[in-house]
Amino acid sequence: MIGAQALVGTLTGCGVDVCFSNPGTSEMHVVAALDAVPGVRGVLCLFEGTATGAADGYGRMTGRPAAVLLHLGPGLANGLANLHNARRARTPLLAVVGDHATYHKQFDAPLESDIDAVARSVSAWVGRPARGADVATAAANAVAAAMAPPGGVATLILPADVSWSDGAEPVSALPVPPPGPVPDEVVGSAAAVLRSGEPCVILLGGAGMRRPGLEAASRAAQATGARMLGETFPPRHERGAGLPAIDRLAYPAEIAIAQLGDVRHLILAGARAPVSFFAYPGKPSSLVPDGCQVHQLAGAGDDVCGALAALADLTAPDAKPVPQQPGRPALPDGDLTAESAADVIGALLPEGAIVADEANTSGLWLPEATAGAPAHDWLTLTGGAIGLGLPLAAGAAIASPGRSVLAVEADGSAMYTISALWTHAREGLDITTIIFSNQAYALLGMELDRVGAAGAGGTARSLLELSQPSLDFVALARGMGVPASRADTAAEFAGQLRRAMAEPGPHLIEAIVPALGQRPSRGATGPGL
């Protein structure tokens, strides 16, 4: 068989069964191989950032890589920002990037560019098979590299002639090593710290934000008086009623510093030592308080949940985790604001929902309002590259049939990958997209002041406004085949959300809300962005 067919056959054997695709001429043999070698579902995306963001969502929910199929250097470029987010999420992901035929590259045709250099900026593994016969081994290596703990992006660059060359055969999946075991003495030291009586925080991240990690940490915390905190932007946070509750570190550094308070020991379990998202004049970059010692229990590639379980067994052998009690906000009435919208979402969020959160400033109230909702997954913007939410929701929905997916999305961020809505419709995905329409890059309005950019006048402010003209997301959604409605009051929003989640297939609700700071609020401290 040809290289492209051996690729698809190998991927099938490695458990890669979805390929988010935006192909071009140099990938046509791979496209054709999807018919010749069944087992991989091709999902068409109208922009590469949708493909890569969807593969991120898929990998976060399944723990297995989806493939993306991209067209040469520019295709990789368009998918790169969401590969950056996937890299930060440590999502297993296989990027297949077509390239010119090996003998054609020397001619520097218009689409020629340095794919390898760009790929290396986001990839844990980059490979380029030189012959058709090498494709299958390269593909198996790529999948194994993507899945090797903690997970990452593997980029397989596939020249067109390698793809169409004969003499290739699929190979079997390679073994994937388990997460690194954490030595007993490391667990023992952490236990000693917890027992010291000094103020301790267990900072959870990565796999630590899933049920086993949270429950173990909850046991250790309640027995020793330590506090638990979560990293600001976890890839996948299991939360809601029945799971241990945990606050995430806030995005604004000043609030995160207050959350850490007078902690003397920070025990890292799958999280990194906290740093400010951006630098601000005169403010520290590290958020570790003065005089606080940092202890790494488990790094991202380690067996985070195993280490936490061992720590709990040492410090709290008889303790049970403290579950969040069920509880929902009352359905609000009156004005629709980011705050009342959060209450509506908290009141209606179904059991087993998956929330793809790119609501930014409008999302500040969501964690609190949904804390006691039935158990659900929360996916965040791990790498700060906006334009992830709608693609992420697509991938999560394809990974999790039967679960309701909610994309909570800022208007500005939505526009980067708005064509993801078409894929929602094309695939009939059960995604309800909520656009918080405040007609501004509200975060930047806040940041303009925080960075001390004094003297910002009309020109600067106008570059942060999304009005003139207003974006009509109902029209945009309908233009891509997604039923849509607009909500101006809390009651309208509740009715529309209820209907959207009850009906199969995608929906979009444009929630008209004031921008942060335009109206008094009850004082949010959530992570936001």
Of the chain, the end-to-end C-alpha distance in Å amounts to 49
Asked if 88 touches a second copy (CB under 8 A), the answer is: yes
Q: Which residues pair with 360 in a beta bridge?
A: none
Rounded to whole angstroms, how far apart are CA atoms 107 and 100?
10
Rounded to whole angstroms, how far apart are CA atoms 40 and 246?
38
Residue 97 has phi, psi (to 5 degrees) of -115, 115
Based on CB atoms, which residue is closest to a second copy, 177 or 278? 278
Site for a second copy in 277-296 (CB under 8 A): 277-279, 281, 285-286
Please list, in sequence order, all residues whose beta carbon lies within 8 angstroms of the beta carbon of residue 469, skipping any fewer than 6 positions away: none
Please list, in sequence order, all residues whose beta carbon lies within 8 angstroms of the beta carbon of residue 374, skipping any fewer than 6 positions away: 240, 241, 326, 349, 350, 351, 352, 353
Based on CB atoms, which residue is closest to a second copy, 239 or 424? 424
Asked if 35 touches a second copy (CB under 8 A), the answer is: yes
Q: Which of 66, 126, 160, 190 binds a second copy (CB under 8 A)?
A: 160
Quote the least distance from Cβ 374 to a second copy, whole Å: 30
Site for a second copy in 41-80 (CB under 8 A): 42, 44, 46-47, 49, 73-75, 77-78, 80
Quote the least distance from Cβ 329 to a second copy, whole Å: 30
Among 332-340, 342-350, 395-403, 460-468, which window interacts with a second copy (CB under 8 A)?
460-468
- Site map 162..201 versus a second copy, x via CB under 8 A: --x-------------------------------------
Residue 402 has phi, psi (to 5 degrees) of 90, -10
Q: Which of 32, 255, 319, 331 binds a second copy (CB under 8 A)?
A: 32
- What letters, b where the CB count within 10 A reaches 16 and e where it falls short, cover 310-321? bbbebbbeebeb
Asked if 254 touches a second copy (CB under 8 A), the answer is: no
Asked if 81 touches a second copy (CB under 8 A), the answer is: yes
Q: Which of 16, 62, 66, 84 binds a second copy (CB under 8 A)?
A: 84
In whole angstroms, how large is the CA radius of gyration of the chain?
Answer: 23
Q: Which of 130, 192, 456, 502 binds a second copy (CB under 8 A)?
A: 456
Q: Give the number of other Cβ atoms within 10 Å of residue 139's Cβ.
A: 31
Task: Decide the pairing of beta strands 237-239 and 376-379.
Answer: antiparallel
Site for a second copy in 114-133 (CB under 8 A): 114, 117-118, 120-122
Please list, in sequence order, all residues whose beta carbon lies within 8 angstroms of the beta carbon of residue 456, skipping any fewer than 6 positions away: 448
Closest CA to 361 of 184, 241, 512, 527: 527
Among 99-107, 140-148, 182-190, 198-206, which window interacts with a second copy (CB under 8 A)?
99-107
Site for a second copy in 301-360 (CB under 8 A): none
Quote the least distance from Cβ 507 to a second copy, whole Å: 14
Based on CB atoms, which residue is closest to a second copy, 121 or 293? 121
Asked if 111 touches a second copy (CB under 8 A), the answer is: yes
Quote the least distance from Cβ 29 to a second copy, whole Å: 5
Rounded to whole angstroms, how far apart are CA atoms 478 and 482?
5
- Reported as half-sphere exposure (CB side, CA atoms, 13 A), residue 152 has a value of 20
Quote the least distance from Cβ 17 to a second copy, whole Å: 13
Based on CB atoms, which residue is closest to a second copy, 36 or 192? 36
State how far the alpha carbon of 204 is from the alpha carbons of 90, 243, 317, in Å: 15, 14, 20
Q: Residue 293 in contact with residue 284, Cβ under 8 Å?
A: no
Site for a second copy in 355-414 (CB under 8 A): 382-385, 387, 412
Based on CB atoms, which residue is closest to a second copy, 69 or 308? 69
Among 98-106, 193-201, 261-269, 303-311, which window interacts with a second copy (CB under 8 A)?
98-106
Asked if 255 touches a second copy (CB under 8 A), the answer is: no
Quote the least distance from Cβ 450 to a second copy, whole Å: 8
Q: Which residues pair with 508 in a beta bridge?
A: 433, 484
How many chain residues are in contact with a second copy, going by CB under 8 A? 101
Based on CB atoms, which residue is closest to a second copy, 109 or 192? 109
Quote the least distance from Cβ 367 to a second copy, whole Å: 18
Q: Which residues pair with 256 in a beta bridge?
A: none
Rounded to whole angstroms, how far apart are CA atoms 529 and 527?
6
